[in-house]
Amino acid sequence: MSRAYFDHAATAALLPEARQAWLEAIELVGNPTGLHTSARRVKALLEDARESIAADLGAHPTEVIFTATGSQGDSIAVLGGRALRPDRPAVAISAVEHPGVATVATMVDEVRELPVGPDALVDLDRAADLVDEDVALVSVQAVNGEVGTVQALDEVVELGHRVGALVHSDAVQALALPGLDLAATGLDLASVAAHKIGGPVGIGALLARRELALPAAGLGAGQERGIVSGTPSAALAAGFAAALRVVTALRRDVGAQPLWEVRRRIVAAVADLAAVRVNGPADPARQVPGIVHVTIDGVRADDVLFLLDSAGVDASTGASCRAGMHQPSDVVLAMTGSPADASSSIRLSFGWETSPEEVDRLVEVLPGIIGRARAAAAR
């Protein structure tokens, strides 16, 4: 039995175009830092990928710094951005950040947590009181990876720049929809990753304004603008660029309507169930269509996921960077303050390639699974 995949926000299926680009590039031999002909071929491929990614993300090629993961980009941005403002002790992050930001922020002198409302949107009025001249960097996720909330980045950027702080965004979940245009956002730094859009696992990028002289993230020969040392993978970069070209074209030519239709079917199925509610903003402009986050009263999220898995449906509880360990969702706790809600919420995420048959299976098995999970929790 083929499986129904609803964990797209953790990792999307590898796109054929990305696979082909990687396979072709992996045949080339040569270190891109070398001077001979073979090395120059690899270097050209690497730089072509950088230029393609830059064009699709509204950046200059020199602003694209290849990393191994989105989380690595987060670390470099938060710690490096803080180091560029040594007279400012604080970093301000939203209460619903990805662990790539939330955990690294504990390594600075002072962390100010920007509160959110029940829809996971940053409360900008309350945030304004926390972002002052002591803040070196503000970091707010462009799209929350658990609930799918689209933050008002333009207002966040204005808030940070007003006091002279740098502004970073973990934009990993925004790459497909609504997309990212670095120049248009006014962001100083943004982190992205290939595998969220059907590119290969093992490559991401930090977009950093050209004028920012970020400190080196480690020792080595000083590749990637002197920030990330080590031999970059031209093959992974080519796969990343190919995947980004595909999703950019899908966003332009197909649009979000197919994903909104999948979301509509799932939300309609959930609406018929007792004590199950969909989380996130009511305003569609503040919600990505590819994530449906639900709280199911009277269950343990782990039980629901196990039963879905047994029925051939892949789903998750939220952020994928928890070393395979489920724990109550920090995002839901920040939204509702309820440990019960944080332990009984699941995420269903999908993409353009999600088939009607996959949705059929999900909506068919979900009511029975919730009933069985409630019975198990009541024992």
Cβ count near 223 (within 10 Å): 16
- Cβ-count burial of 128 within 10 angstroms (0-12 exposed, 13-18 middle, 19+ buried)? middle
Tell me the sheet residues that pair with 346. Answer: 294
Answer for the pair 228, 205: CB distance below 8 angstroms, yes or no.
no
Rounded CA separation 136/331 (Å): 24
Paired sense of beta strands 345-349 and 291-296, if any: antiparallel
- DSSP-assigned letter for residue 197: G
Contacts of 23 (CB under 8 A, 6+ apart): none
Cβ count near 294 (within 10 Å): 22
Q: Which of 278, 321, 333, 365 is catalytic?
A: 321
Q: How many CA atoms lie within 13 A of 135 on its CB side?
A: 27
The reply to whether 321 belongs to the active site is yes
Paired sense of beta strands 313-314 and 4-5, if any: parallel
Residue type, 138: V
**Residue numbers annotated as active site:** 321
